[in-house]
Structure formats: structure tokens, C-alpha cells
Structure 1
């Protein structure tokens, strides 16, 4: 089922202007509008959040806006620069989010996320990540995912706070309560409909189509059908200017999986040769399959390192071939290297001098494309004495930092996600527990080693200036070994609560 994401940027022109102005931009509390002309009149073409809160609206005369908002900051609008920046953002999303992305001017972007959301942890996680990443760049955003372009557009602007994911197969249920403007109607049509008593989209859905068409023309019914998915509304994707791709058109549509797989191999061979000629390797590949009904089926795969080997690219794409629904047949197939990097030549070293390191990048790529890049990682040390901060997740083939694993004290093979409280019997301040109860089971300690004192990191949190933990390695009567600690030094209450916790289990 097709899924479309609408990314709504309500204050895109003013956000872009503030980013461009940098340190000389007025404070965010000061209302800002961008000024343009309508004939001989100067009007508001864009307004930031503070201006909207003051009651200013697009199209309002500047004189009226200045009366309503004293201290209003006026700057010239740059519609062409706004459109160019929106296209650059769409290109960035094409490389990092999904293979079909298109600007939706003047303040939106459309993303066909079908088959790509699993690479980002699901639709909800993908939308949340998008909105937060834009917020870090001082760009306000709302996003919605739905079955159609029209529904996603409407939900992003009237429902998302800041994100909304409509359930697959939602139909008209998520649209019925939205205002008429959510249908992207021509200027004035919503007002004319309200004169007749229509307030919400649901009011229109209950009416026969013929009278609406006679009164308002075909545009109203077309917009309703687009929102419901009864009329196709394809997305024309943005294309990088230096895109490396291979294309194949068929005299007769193809549909059999083995035929599709055979042509994938041919496209991969052609693309691999083009990449090798340029000294490039693909980091992200998009396979576009255009069906006879003009619907697009897309496969996106990524690689941990630049790759131009045709056999490897073919294997990655064929591993995802089951998500292609050919329908009545595929007319055109196109394979594009959306993200490329220069190939790095490595000199082979004789095994007589150095032991050869096995190349697991092919396995990493297969797992990452099946499960998502977040699910394939490795643990690397961080420069921290606090156990839960001393390890981080990094990409499976990344070299990591210069930090090394601590070797002066043994660490458990399994570190709990969060330390779990236990009941312990121990002599203070420096003795290990004689027994402890964890998850309802009492364990008598037979051997113990410690304490290992870990001090708080005062530069990370003020509350850790005097905080300490005393860690012990203990072994119970069954031979199981645990890593437990006491919060505090056993004497001063300011150093911790003196409660006991289990933090890890030795293998």
C-alpha cells in the first residue's frame, strides 16, 4: 500500500531569512514579516510565529499590520530564493529519507515513503526524527503520513501536532472532521460552500456528486477523489543534477519475479560500470519500477561502504524484490545511485606479514537493509568512568574513537539497560552484602570483591559533584556472579541514597 508523507513548514520564508541573517537577525520574540507588492500596495507575504500570534496574516496591508503589531520588523520577501532553498531541502531528504521526494511549494515537501519507513524505525519514528532534525536547524515543521497525497497534505496542516500517522487503509475517516480548506480548493470556493451550510469535509462526502459538480465545477469532486485515493495524484520527484543512473524500457510490460530479477542484474551491471568509470561507489541505491497504470514501485537499499561491484548491488536489490507489486506489468525500470562516494583503494597485504581481516560488509549491508540501519551496530568504548556512559552504539563498520575499554577492573558481559534496585544486607561503609534479593529471589553471597569507587562527573551534571558509587563483584551459592553497587560512600548522605542496585551480570 502506498504511503505518503507531507512535511509542512508553516514559517519557511521567515525561518530561512533568520538562518541567512544569522547573528544580525532580530530576536524570535519580535514579530517579523516579509513584504511584497500586490499592484501598488505593500502587503504581508510571509509571517513568523510571533507575527501570527499578534494576529497578522498573509495578504494583510503593511500599514494595518504595523498598527496591530507595534515594533513589527519588516524585511523584503525573496520568493525565488525560498523556492530554491525548498528544492535543496528536498534533495537532502531524497538522499537521507526516501527515494521519491518533491517540493510542494510554497511551504511543503512531499515524500513517498512506501517501503522506506522500516529503514528509519517505522513511520512514527521517521516523522519524529524529521521534525526534530529541522527544529535543530531552527525550522518549524509538522508532518503527517497517510495513504494519499491529498490526505497527508490535509492532516499535516490541520491535525499534526507536530506529527500524525494515519492508519493504513484509513479511507475518509481521518478527513471527515477537517475544515473545507484542507481539500486544497480554489480561492473563494470554501466560502461559497459555507454559505450553503457546509462546514467540514464530512458534510461534502454525504452529498451526491452531480449537484456539487453542476454548482462548483469538476475541481471540487476531483480534490475529494484525490484525497480518498479514487484518482491518482503522482509525485514528480526531484532529481540531483549529477545523478548516476541506468534505465531500461520494455516493449512489453514485465511482471514475473524472475524476469524482474534478471533485469535488475543488467541494470546493476550498467550502473556499476558507470560508477567504476568515475571512480565512485554507491552508498544508496534506488530502483524505480513504473507500472502500466503509472504507479511507481520503489526499492531503496544502502551500503556501509562505497560499492560499485555489480554482483553485490544485484544481491542487495534482489533481496528486497518481494516488496515490488508489478500489477498489470512494469513498463520502465530505472536504477539510480542517489548517494555516492569516492572509492578508496586499499593495498592487499600478504598473509605472511599480517593476518587478513575478513570482510563482513556484505553481511552488514544485507542485515541493515532487512532490519533497518539502527538495528545493526556495534558497541564502542567512550571516555567515561560511569558504566552506562562508557559505551555507545556506532555503525557496524565504523572505526570508532580513540577511547579504549577499561582493563583495570573486570566488567560484566551483560550490562542492564537501567540499574535495578535490590534489597541487600551489608555492613557499612565498605563491606560487601552478605545477601541480596533481586526480582523476588534471595541470594546468599559466597564470595565478593571490591569496592571499586566510581565518582560522579561534575562537568556533566551539577547533581554529581559529590555523588559516588561503590561497586562489588559478588558470587552467590549457585555460582552466579553479579555486579552490584551502593549509591553513596556509606557515611555521608549527600553522596547518595545508600540504596543498593544490580547493574550487570557476568557470563
Structure 2
């Protein structure tokens, strides 16, 4: 069985370089990402130019601007950084199926038995560095027998192999796919893999099998992943290198600094197990179509989307999921990209239902000088229940059931949502409250089911309802014969009531601090049928108010 080999990848500038990929014009200027730490704002990630200006992570933003007047900053987006690390997790799967993430800026790969497929460990590390340089990312690698040793070598060894930023970003895949592929290496054609050797240039980042002791000895004690208090105590005693601790009695170290220090030493040396928990990348449903020649006609774009829809829906169907929101990307020949989002009222993996919705968005895409790649991705998807496929004899009944379940109405919602926005289409549902203004609630139509039935109130409710408006009338519970409302005088001709409604005692609603209300259905001499109530008073004064009108 081969020796266990662990590769640690650390991206020290992940936050800043993620944004620089979208704004390459800032590559030569000092650039930093700002994070919120309580009431203070500090730098969380810096570009190379910002580091050369003397700035450092954790520095307050005001101090950074005082040191570097030309500093450009952007706010941190933790969610997008996590999504970008997840994309790198999928990329690292090309080297080994055992990949684990170390948020917020690192990956761990178990390379046991995999390095020979890439020509050896040194060649594999070179390919990792080159791939990251092509993506515009700085990476530091560490390769050893244990996770602790690889983590230490990636962060505390001098590695000046940062590749030049080429600008070949992920969103510029079409030109890369048309590039001429390099010749295959001899070991990929069936030849013997080169022997595992470590050159002098790679000794800082690659520890040969069984050489974790000599690789870690010159490193600082921070390479053992110790807490700040333990590091400070060790520094006061003159123990500043890992080699200073390896020769000390274990019992004395555990008694004085706790078991955590000894455990970290054992994990780094391989005496204690430290497993890697690889997490499979989340399901990602996307397809792309690279075109041999640029296109610009709407019909050509639609034809390409129809072709991609078949493949995308087939993958969704295999996983038992349905797309809720699709993102269509058009990569143009000038290396710019335009995109549109389209949402459906219900999750589906039926390409025919999505084709009509996509056609509405394709007309909005500006082809510019031409489109050389199309990409379609399901950015929102949900699990779908299994469905039984019916035969020819039950086809008519299946159509009737589909229409009865509201599929046609869902298609209508999808078409309307593609034009005005899915969030603007709402429906009313009965509310679980006896308060009149809470008797119904507004929900998004695409993310809610129609109400099966509306509870019929025992007393009629007005057709129009508005916030209570004051009525000029004597401050007594008896319904007045004459009153004034909205600048007009009214005379009571008919009345029905009263209906007493008490406030929800378990909630502090400012609108109901006037206490219980007695509601009356009043017919006036002007033909209006109003809904008046008398507030008996509580935290607020009593009086008469008008809240609605009947048909």
C-alpha cells in the first residue's frame, strides 16, 4: 500500500483576486477587500500591489488609506467567496476524488496513489500552480505525509513561484477550448511514471515520504496550528521553532501547555490520526455550447439554447430534480459576457416548458460583435417527486389531471413572471387571525399553493378595508345619529351591530392599543355603507373611527 500523501492548497489572496477577475483594470493598483469586525472595518484580503505598499490583513481601513492614498477597496461578500471556493473544489477533483474544503481560503487533497498520473509529485505541484496562475489566483502548496505537515509547508515556507496573471478566467472558456491542446506526456500514453524525487527547488514545499521531521523542524511554532495564548507562552520560554519542541519530554509539555500541544505535534508527525473528510461537490447543473463561428441572429441563439436544454433537463431528470431558475450566458468574441435570468412558477425538468420562457429572454440579449459560446445553468433547483408514465389509453385522462392540478396556470405564471418579474405576481391567502386587517395575507404566487377554501365569516366583512380614520362624533359607545368623516356630514339611516373584537393580548400591536372595538355596519343618507367602530380606550384615547366600506 503506498504511503499516504496529502496536498494542502492555500489561496492567500482569494477574496481580492476573485474580484480582480471581474475588474482586471484594477490589477496594477493597490486593491483590498474590507470586512466588518464588529464596529470596525479591517482589510481581509489584499492584492500583490497592496501588499507591496506595506498593507497587511487585519489592518484598519483608516490606517490603510493613510498609508496608501490610492487604495481601492470593495466590501466582502462571504457568500460569493464560499461559492468561489466551491468552484475551486470542483476543479481540484481532477487531481484526486478525495478533496475537502478548509474555509475560507484553502483546500486539502488526498493524493495517495494519484501523483504518478501527472508525472510525479513535483510535476503535479507545477500543474496546480500553473492552473491557478491561468485563473489569476495566487496559491501556495504543501505536500507531506500528514495533513498537519502539508498545512505547515503551504503557509510557512518561502514559495516565490506565483505565476503571472494571464487573465484566462473561468468566464472566458470559449477561447480556451479552441486553443490547440498540448502533446500528451509519455506516462499518459502508457509509459512508466517517473520516480518520486524532490528537486532542491521543491524541498521547501514538498516533504519526501518519511521526512516530515526534517521538513517541519525549521518552521515556526505557529505552523503547528496552535492558539495565540500557547504560542505566546512558548515564545517567552525561547521555544520558537518546531524543532525546539520535538526534543522536549512529552509529559512535561502536556502538563504545562495542555494536551492540545502534544496532539498537534503527534498529528504533524503522523503519530496521531487526522482523517480528511472529503465532501462531494454540490450538484451543479450547467451545460455549454462552444461555437466554431460567431453567431448573432436571435434564431441561432434560440436553436443553441434548445439544444442545451435537452442535455440540461436530462441531467436534472437523472438526479430527480427540477429547475426553478435558469441563467443563460452569452460569451461574445470581445471576451465580454451578458446574461439573463428566467424563473418558472414551479420546478420542472421539461424542456418544452422552459423553451418558451427562454425565448422571451433571448430577444433581450445583445450579441455585439458576435457570440462564440453559450452557457445554460440551473442556479435554482429543487427535488421532484417520482411520476408514473402513463400509456396511450390513459393519455386523455393524464392531460385532464395535469390541467386540473393547475399546470396550465403555472405556465401562465411563468410567462408573466418572465416579463414583469416573478416576485411581482402575488396571491391572497386566508390569515390565521380574528383581527380584520389580518384576515388575509399576500404571498408570492410562484412559491405558494392556492388556498383550498376560504373560511366564511359569521359576520359580513367590508369589500374595501383601510387603516382606521377618525370620525367626528360624541365620545360615547352609543352609535351617533349624525357624524362627520373626510370633511362631509353623514346621517345614520340604518345600523347593524355591534360586533365586539378584542385585540390579540399576546402581541403588542400599536394599532390596537386603543383597547376593544365595537364595530357597526352603518347605512347613511348619502348611500354609503360604512364600517364604523368605537374604541373603548386603553393605552390610547377612545373615540369613533371608520375602517371600511361595503358594496
1:388 aligns to what? Answer: 437
Partners of 1:247 and 1:332 within 8 A in 2: yes
1:138 aligns to what? Answer: none
Partners of 1:458 and 1:465 within 8 A in 2: no
1:300 aligns to what? Answer: 341
Question: 2:329 matched to 1:282?
Answer: no
Question: 2:521 matched to 1:473?
Answer: yes
1:98 aligns to what? Answer: none
Give unmatched runs, 5+ long, in structure 2.
1-21, 24-31, 45-54, 68-75, 87-102, 106-166, 174-280, 391-396
* TM-score normalised by length of structure 2: 0.47
* TM-score normalised by length of structure 1: 0.51
1:414 aligns to what? Answer: 464
SS at match of 1:410: coil
1:234-259 Cα offsets, whole Å, 9 max, x none, are 98569986321222222222212222
Q: 1:354 to 1:268 in 2, by over 3 A?
A: closer
SS at match of 2:538: helix
Partners of 2:471 and 2:546 within 8 A in 1: no
Question: 2:366 matched to 1:372?
Answer: no
Question: 2:546 matched to 1:502?
Answer: yes
2:332 aligns to what? Answer: 291
Q: 1:467 to 1:446 in 2, by over 3 A?
A: same
Question: Structure 1: how far apart are the matches of 2:399 and 2:377?
Answer: 38
Partners of 2:503 and 2:516 within 8 A in 1: yes
Give unmatched runs, 5+ long, in structure 1.
15-27, 35-42, 61-81, 93-104, 108-232
Choose from 494, 498, 509 the match for 1:447.
494
1:335-379 Cα offsets, whole Å, 9 max, x none, are 111121122246798899999343311111222232223311111
1:70-111 Cα offsets, whole Å, 9 max, x none, are xxxxxxxxxxxx99975225699xxxxxxxxxxxx999xxxx
Choose from 533, 543, 546 the match for 1:485.
533
Matches within 5 A, 1:142-153: none
Shift, 1:404, TM fit: 6.1
Partners of 1:44 and 1:59 within 8 A in 2: no
Partners of 1:425 and 1:433 within 8 A in 2: no
Write 1 or 2 for the structure with the bigger share of strand.
Answer: 1
1:370-406 Cα offsets, whole Å, 9 max, x none, are 2223311111222223222333221215138999646
1:48-82 Cα offsets, whole Å, 9 max, x none, are xxxx59x877999xxxxxxxxxxxxxxxxxxxxx9
Q: 1:235 to 1:445 in 2, by over 3 A?
A: farther
1:269 aligns to what? Answer: 310
Shift, 1:324, TM fit: 0.7
Question: Structure 2: how far apart are the matches of 1:255 and 1:33?
Answer: 43
Choose from 317, 322, 329 the match for 2:370.
329
Equivalent residue pairs, number: 315
Question: Structure 1: how far apart are the matches of 2:64 and 2:400?
Answer: 75
Question: Structure 2: how far apart are the matches of 1:465 and 1:302?
Answer: 43
